[in-house]
Amino acid sequence: MKSTQLILEEAHDHKLIEIQREQNKLKKLQGDLANLNAKMDGKESLSQEDTKFIGELGWLAALSVAVATVAVSI
C-alpha cells in the first residue's frame, strides 16, 4: 500500500506536468495573438482562419467570464 506522502508526491508531479502543458499552450496562443496583432497593426487583410480564431477567442472570453462568475458565487 502506498504511503500518503508518496500519493501526494505523485499527485503533485501529475499536476506539475499538467501546468507545464498548459503553459506551453498559452505560449503558443500568445505567439498567435502577437502575429494577429502585427497583421492588424500593419493593416494587412485577415484570412478566414484569422477571423475564425478571433471568433473563437470571443467565445472563450465569454465562457471564462461565466466560469469566473460561478466560481465566485460558490
User: For residue 6, what pLDDT is reported?
Assistant: 93
User: For residue 41, what pLDDT is reported?
Assistant: 95
Give the residues of the chain that fall short of pLDDT 70: none
The whole-angstrom separation of Cα 66 and Cα 72 is 10
- Per the CB < 8 A criterion, the answer to whether 36 and 50 are in contact is yes
User: For residue 24, what pLDDT is reported?
Assistant: 95
User: For residue 2, what pLDDT is reported?
Assistant: 83
- Say which amino acid occupies 30: Q
User: For residue 32, what pLDDT is reported?
Assistant: 93
Is the overall model pTM greater than 0.75, yes or no? no
